[in-house]
Amino acid sequence: MAPDNRIAMCPGTFDPVTNGHLDVIARASAMYDRVIVAVVNLPWRKGKTVFSAEERVALITGATRELGNVDVEPFSTLLVDFARERGAMAIVKGLRAISDFEYELEMNQLNRRQDPQIESVYLMASAKYSFLSSSGIKELATFGGDIDDLVPKEVARALKERLSR
């Protein structure tokens, strides 16, 4: 495949993005010419998010600016349809634990059934982020826990502000 044609998609809800997500996005950006962070924008899915899709896109855009080859976009279709539309050859996700494996195995089967041409690639979470999740972050932030080393500064600030309302 020609250089600068190797596009990967990193999908997720990212409510909010964590340093664990950013670790996977940065590693993907070193492996592919371009990475599109695809932000789920389906208000009915998984209940209401703390941040709107626009806010999640803005927070990830700020946190990935220095990588240079990362774009962030919301989507509200099937993931593989969005990946095909953007010319992505791979869906790249992080894997933390066995519990992730079961869910991702199912997603992998669903996505490959829709489009066998788009490969799913899994990066093992870095050890220091292997316990980190968006829901854990929200729980900590709700009860005043320290999240400063777990999310970008801007995310910590936005979360504290939102949850204190």
Is residue 129 within 8 A of residue 23, CB to CB? The reply is: yes
According to CB under 6 A, which one of 5, 31, 78, 148 is a site residue for ligand PNS?
78
Rule CB under 6 A: choose which of 36, 37, 57, 79 binds ligand PNS. 79
Round to whole Å and give the CA distance between 144 and 138.
Answer: 10
* SS3 sequence of 66-131: HHCCEEEEEECCCHHHHHHHCCCCEEEEEECCHHHHHHHHHHHHHHHHHCCCCEEEEEECCHHHCC
Check binding of 110 to ligand PNS (CB under 6 A).
yes
* Residue 19 lies near ligand PNS (rule: CB under 6 A): no
Q: Which is nearer to ligand PNS, 26 or 118 (CB)?
A: 118
What's the closest the beta carbon of residue 81 comes to ligand PNS, in angstroms? 8
Residues in touch with ligand PNS (CB under 6 A): 11-13, 40, 42, 45, 78-79, 107, 110-111
